[in-house]
Every structure is written in C-alpha cells, then in structure tokens.
Amino acid sequence: MKTKSPPPIIGVSGCRKDIDGYDYDSAPHMFVDALEKACGAVPLIVPTLGAALDRKTLIAHVDGLLFTGSVSNVEPHHYDGPDSVEGTAHDPHRDATTLPLIVEAVEAGVPIFCICRGFQELNVAYGGSLHQRVFEVPGLLDHRSDRTQPMDIRFDLAHEMSLVEDSYFAALAGSTTIMVNSLHGQGIERVGDGLSVQAIAPDGLVEGLTVNGARRFAAGVQWHPEFKVMDNSFSRALFEAFAESAREKAAES
C-alpha cells in the first residue's frame, strides 16, 4: 500500500500586535483557514523577530511561506519613498522579518505566495516602489473597500483583472480575464527587478507578479484570494499550485 505523504508545513508571516499592553505575533485566520482548506497544509506563524530570526533554519524546515495581508503598510524608507501620512499604520518588526526572508526563501527553492501587504513586500524586497495612497494618484481608481459594510460585501468581487497573455496566471486561469475583490490603499508604483507582471487592473495598476527564474512557485497578488477560497476557481487554482510546489519541496527534503 502506498504511504500517504504528510501535509506540507507552511510558514505564515506574523504581524506584531499590542494587545492589552503585551506584544503578540498574529496572523489573520482567513489565511490560515485557506491554507488548511485549499492546500491541506499545516500553517505555522513566523514570529516577527527581525534580524534575530534564524532564517536559514526556518527555510530548511518549512515547505512554503505565505506572506499575508495586514492593516499595516511597509515603511517607505525601504523603497526610498516620502514619509508616510500621519496616522499610517506600520509594523517595522514585520518589515525586518519578511523583506529579507522573501528573497532568501526564493533563492533556497522554498515556494512563496504573497497576498496584499505580502504582495507589496514582494515588490519592495526586489527593489520596487509603492504608491502610498493609490486613491490620490491621478488616473488610478480608489481600490479601498467600505469598512462600514459587512465582510461579505467588503470582500465581494469588485472589478475585472486582465491577465497578461501567455503568462503563468493566464495558463492557470485558462483565461485572460478574471474578477477580483479590492481592499487596498497602497499599490505598485515601480515593479521590482526580476519580477514579471501577471495581472493588471483596469486603471493600469499592476496587481499580480511572479519571480523570474524561481525554482518553485513564487507569486503574489494584490487582491484577496483567501476569502472563500473554495468558491472561486482561480483562487483555488492559485492555492493548489502553491500547495503542489510545497509538496514537491517537502519530498525533496
């Protein structure tokens, strides 16, 4: 009888949170739930230790890494951007952890999947820059959601997304057009070196990237495919491709 392979272990980027005066490392449950449902994976939160994190050991023991969305934004000094508007949420502990980890994981052949803030981290990690307030950039749409609305409305499909012809995403979708949700205030300004554009919003904003020459799955999206992942064929395809790559990495270990 063939032995069933164990589920892949996926590290999930943590966010530093102050709860009642205590620092917590946390991750939105929607992401870990999607990993369990769509990938059959065991998710583990990666603590926000920054330079103190032994990234080499972590990379050796996980089969993939998911970089999640968050209410915080990458600090602009990481991409030589202007100072943030007062009141902008930041998480320097997460920045110090994720930005070097993304590049090192790809170089080591560990699959990565980067979503929303994670997508922006991917771009910055490879030398790209961000629009800090997309809704104030002439010619670009307001991609934010209405926070007063229930979750199902906020995360509902919001606009078309064009997938680059003959791209990895187009092959995965079997189409060059999909519908996505939209819940972000920041976005890609300049695409990082060594990244390929996969998806473009109606206003020209880049919302999907892959890493050129990566040995395994290394992709990011600006939207939120983790929301009701099993109900959306392309969202499910992204997570399943990520999981397949993670299982390949696990089998090699």
Q: Is 116 noted as a catalytic residue in this protein?
A: yes
The question of whether 121 is a catalytic residue gets the answer: no
224 catalytic? Reply is yes
The catalytic position among 75, 121, 207, 226 is 226
Residue 226 and residue 92 in contact, taking contact as beta carbons nearer than 8 Å: no
Residues 75, 116, 121, 207: which is the catalytic one?
116
Q: Is residue 228 exposed (0-12), middle (13-18) or buried (19+ Cβ within 10 Å)? A: middle
Using CA atoms, how far residue 140 sits from 57, 63, 135, 147, 200, in Å, is 42, 37, 7, 20, 12
Residue of 93, 131, 184, 224 with catalytic role: 224
| Terminal C-alpha separation, the chain | 22
Structure tokens at 179: 């519908």
**Which residues carry out catalysis?**
116, 224, 226
